[in-house]
Amino acid sequence: MSEVPTLGFIGLGVMGSGMCRNAVTKHGAPVHVFDMVPAAVADQVASGAVAAASVAEVAQAARVIFLSLPGGKQVAAVAAEIAEHAKPGTVVVDLSTTAVAEARAVAASLRERGLEFADAPVARTRQAAIDGTLSIMVGASEDLFARIAPLLGYMGSDVTLCGEVGCGQVVKLVNNTLLFEQVAAIAEMMVVAERAGVAPETLIQAVGLGSGNSFALQTHARKAMAPRDFPAKAFPSPYALKDLGYTIELAEQMGVEPRLPRLVSEYYQAAIDAGIGEKYFPAIIEVIDRK
């Protein structure tokens, strides 16, 4: 993009708010923002964003529009509204996590209206979204990736082209599923070790020096499971179940039986059934420890 494009940002929730603020403060042109929660819009306006009254208003004003929404249905609905109002050549970049088929369907529908699309789901924490140090996995053509990569660099320290449209979601779902599986395995073993006389902090330290070490151990186990600190509005079990469902669907489409994702899903569903589903998802250790 030879000229600095006007940006749009729709969806200013837990992750979207941090990503949007980085775009607002680092970009050299206006960023038009919209969310169903007026306070979320006002918060971005205080940082320099331009408030929009609707999705349509963002679509009319912006040439590159970022989405950060709960799931595929919301992305499809918002993308359809954007298509009704955006100028040809407008680029929609979806930072949400959706099913692979949903991302490809949205891309096809936008292409028919002369719009371009990239799926660019993000990984890492809410703090990483605030700090602009997310990992962003992109599905797009090489040409489109070259044009949007500098903009994604406002939000992420690692921006990777994973393949054509939908491939960003493939990598994101694999990433999340591996994490959910590891957290469940650690939760089981942490309860086993504690009941056998090993303190959680000692377990993390010792295993961290061996081949069982992992990001999940050093982050989720150390910061959440050991102190039993599971804040709300971080990443609750229903979100984990949603992503696992997408992975199970993808695996079946690819001819692979997703046994581990199905098994791990039982823990996150159990957390919801136990009334702790809105806690940060490593809270599944509390389900295991109640038995």
The catalytic residues are 172
Crossing angle of the two packed helices 237-253 and 100-112, in degrees rounded to 10 = 80
In Å, what is the CA distance from 233 to each residue of 162, 249, 287? 29, 26, 19
Per the listing, tokens 């998802």 go with 281
Distance (Å, rounded) from C-alpha 81 to C-alpha 71?
Answer: 16
Beta strands per DSSP E along 42-155? 50-51, 64-67, 91-94, 116-119, 122-123, 134-139
Structure letter (DSSP) for residue 63? S
In Å, what is the CA distance from 267 to each residue of 48, 120, 284, 291? 42, 28, 6, 12
Structure letter (DSSP) for residue 8? E
**What pairs with residue 85 in β-bridges?**
none
